[in-house]
């Protein structure tokens, strides 16, 4: 059987298969490049886990690396391009990656990270003159352009989320997000039946390809769906791409919606969006007013996919049902069942608020790579897990999120764990105690701030503490501001009730 790209080249010879801001590849061109990437990786010494990592901003090459890795039977590890070399090195070492792909913006940090983690090979695009980087063009030229074997088993991506201990935790994409199949060929056939493929037009990538949603969307290419890739988010560029490329689907987060809605009315009406059939949104609960306005503008094409990288989509709701139950994240989808429990783990009836858990009928639940303790902590009992949120289920089975009992802050679709910033800030010589919390933010949903107690006589400002944190941690992980306080309300046992710390900020937002 011919490879998917060769098949598409024969059926749709004039169609652009993969487009970004610098290049546009037809299916025949894509077929040759993907075959070369896959054959090079198939022949490479990558260890028993066959893991490769990709550390780059959005671009066609990122997709070539991930899809080529998929076809070659590799598990690809997307690395957040905002990370420092030390942060990236931890992921490379923990994942046991044996090859790292880098883009020009991350090449030097990638080389340093690879050296620290013992990764023997770094391949980069547009990285001329950077020592330690093998040119991507040379990597391709040395490999065969014929179709790679497709009779071996595909391997799911390994993605890293920040952890409450301050170290990212790896999790393989679960079966609900990576319907593997027994062979690459079978997996590709399943991708051809995905919702994005059924939308009937190009899929638009607007988020960073280290996030689960855009990464999953990019795999629709292997099902024969053309991809249009944008770089850093620009609201008008999104509308322009939808009109010019007749995009039918995309994955967005609520922050994208906010930025789109902020456009002047003249720009909103300038572009033809009639090609859109499906916008899946994920990453955080969408504010009711924001989602209502998006449905009024884009039409009933929004589909909320609530869940997490660790487990996939646990609940889903289309636009029509959401208009009946505004604010709901939907009904549980197989194999999940929602249950609400009190602080002692006792199940609660409909419309009673409590901790939201999900029962996984497969018994899998949440599995963290190399971290059985964190995996156990996410479970009430085997197969019954939480994503750390509070809510209720109504009489018709629709789930509503009202709060969160974990420390995690969801800002612009990115998961931030306060422990990372707290561990950096507590090492400042003038800081006696510190806590980071999430507070409401109109555009990002939440933003993280710090509350710090200074040593007697200390003169350091909140702005200086933010700068100090940014020197030691990726900027997006740092609090946006730090307020100096006299007390954090620690108990005699040394615990902080962060719900109490957050309450004044959320109370003001609700009033």
322 is a domain residue: yes
**Which residue's structure tokens are 């992980």?**
477
264 is a domain residue: no
Structure confidence by residue, pLDDT tens digits, 451-474: 999 988 999 999 999 999 999 999
Rounded to a whole number of angstroms, the distance between the first and last alpha carbons of the chain is 62
How far, CA to CA in Å, does 107 sit from each of 64, 82, 390?
17, 12, 41
385 with 341, same domain?
Answer: yes
Q: Which of 351, 379, 404 is the last residue of a domain?
A: 404
Tell me the backbone φ, ψ of residue 104, rounded to 5 degrees. -65, -30
Q: Which of 368, 387, 404 is the last residue of a domain?
A: 404
Asked if 251 and 348 touch (Cβ cutoff 8 Å), the reply is no
244 is a domain residue: no
Task: Please tell me the distance from the alpha carbon of residue 427 to that of residue 430, in angstroms, as a whole number.
Answer: 8
374 with 420, same domain?
Answer: no
Q: Which of 174, 208, 232 is the last residue of a domain?
A: 232
3 state SS of 234: coil
215 with 285, same domain?
Answer: no
**DSSP string covering 288-335:** HHHHHHHHHHH-S-EEEEEEETTTEEEEEEEHHHHHHSTTEEEEE-TT
237 is a domain residue: no
- 181 Cβ contact list (under 8 Å, min separation 6): 154, 187, 189, 190
375 with 437, same domain?
Answer: no
pLDDT average per 10 residues of sequence, the chain (511 residues): 85 97 97 96 94 98 97 96 94 97 97 98 96 97 93 92 64 85 89 93 96 94 97 96 98 91 95 98 84 96 94 96 96 96 93 94 90 88 92 96 80 83 89 91 92 92 96 92 91 71 79 54
Asked if 229 and 55 touch (Cβ cutoff 8 Å), the reply is no
62 with 155, same domain?
Answer: yes
134 with 221, same domain?
Answer: yes
Residue 491: predicted pLDDT: 64
Residue 216 domain boundaries: 4-232
- 243 Cβ contact list (under 8 Å, min separation 6): 271, 272, 273, 275
Domain with residue 474: its CATH number is 3.30.300.30
Residue 494: predicted pLDDT: 61
Domain with residue 121: its CATH number is 3.40.50.980
Residue 433: predicted pLDDT: 87
Asked if 57 and 105 touch (Cβ cutoff 8 Å), the reply is yes
294 is a domain residue: yes
**DSSP string covering 362-416:** TS-----BT-HHHHHHTEEETTEEEEEEEEEE-TTS-EEEEEE-SS-EEETTEEE
Domain count, the chain: 3
How far, CA to CA in Å, does 244 sit from each of 173, 241, 354, 393, 494?
33, 5, 47, 42, 58
417 with 493, same domain?
Answer: yes
255 is a domain residue: no
Task: Please tell me the distance from the alpha carbon of residue 187 to that of residue 178, in angstroms, as a whole number.
Answer: 9
Residue 510: predicted pLDDT: 59
Residue 1: predicted pLDDT: 47
Q: Which of 366, 269, 509 has its CA nearest to residue 357?
A: 366
Domain with residue 315: its CATH number is 2.30.38.10
């Amino acid at each position: 059987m011919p490879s998917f790209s060769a098949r598409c080249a024969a059926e749709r010879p004039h169609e652009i298969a993969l487009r970004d801001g610098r290049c546009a590849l037809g299916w025949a061109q894509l077929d040759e490049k993907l075959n070369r990437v896959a054959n090079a990786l198939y022949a490479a010494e990558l260890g028993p886990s066959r893991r490769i990592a990709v550390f780059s901003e959005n671009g066609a090459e990122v997709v070539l690396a991930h899809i080529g890795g998929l076809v070659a039977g590799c598990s690809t590890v997307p690395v957040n391009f905002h990370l420092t070399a030390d942060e990236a090195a931890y992921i490379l070492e923990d994942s046991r990656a044996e090859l790292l792909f880098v883009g020009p913006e991350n090449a030097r940090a990638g080389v340093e990270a690879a050296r620290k983690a013992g990764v023997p090979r770094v391949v980069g695009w547009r990285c001329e003159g950077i020592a330690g980087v093998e040119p991507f063009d040379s990597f391709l030229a040395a490999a065969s352009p014929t179709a790679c074997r497709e009779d071996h088993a595909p391997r799911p991506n390994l993605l890293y989320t920040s952890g409450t201990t301050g170290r990212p935790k790896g999790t393989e994409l679960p079966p609900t997000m990576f319907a593997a199949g027994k062979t690459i060929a079978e997996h590709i056939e399943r991708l051809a039946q995905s919702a994005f493929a059924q939308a009937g037009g190009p899929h638009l990538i607007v988020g960073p390809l280290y996030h689960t949603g855009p990464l999953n969307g990019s795999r629709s290419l292997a099902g024969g769906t053309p991809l249009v890739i944008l770089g850093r988010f620009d609201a008008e560029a999104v509308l322009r791409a939808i009109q010019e490329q007749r995009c039918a689907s995309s994955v967005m987060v609520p922050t994208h919606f906010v930025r789109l809605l902020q456009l002047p009315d003249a720009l909103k009406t300038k572009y033809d969006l009639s090609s859109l059939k499906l916008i899946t949104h994920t990453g955080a609960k969408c504010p009711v007013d924001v989602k209502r306005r998006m449905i009024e503008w884009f039409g009933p094409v929004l589909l909320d996919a609530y869940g997490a990288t660790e487990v996939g989509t646990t609940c889903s709701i289309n636009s029509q049902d959401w208009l009946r139950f505004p604010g709901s994240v939907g009904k549980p989808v197989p194999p999940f069942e929602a249950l609400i429990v009190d602080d002692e783990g006792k199940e609660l009836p409909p419309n009673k608020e409590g901790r939201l858990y999900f029962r996984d009928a497969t018994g899998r639940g949440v599995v963290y790579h190399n971290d059985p303790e964190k995996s156990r902590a996410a479970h009430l009992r085997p197969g019954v897990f939480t994503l750390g949120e509070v809510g209720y289920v109504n009489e018709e089975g629709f789930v509503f999120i009202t709060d969160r009992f974990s420390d995690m802050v969801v800002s612009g679709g990115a998961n931030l764990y306060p422990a990372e910033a707290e561990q950096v800030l507590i090492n400042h010589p003038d800081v006696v105690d510190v806590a980071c919390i999430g507070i409401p933010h109109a555009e990002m949903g939440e933003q993280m701030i710090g509350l710090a107690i200074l040593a007697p006589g200390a003169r350091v400002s909140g702005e200086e503490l933010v700068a100090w944190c940014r020197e030691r941690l990726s900027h997006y992980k740092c609090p946006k501001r730090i307020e100096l306080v006299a007390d954090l309300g620690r108990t005699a046992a040394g615990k902080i009730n962060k719900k109490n710390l957050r309450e004044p900020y959320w109370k003001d937002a609700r009033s």
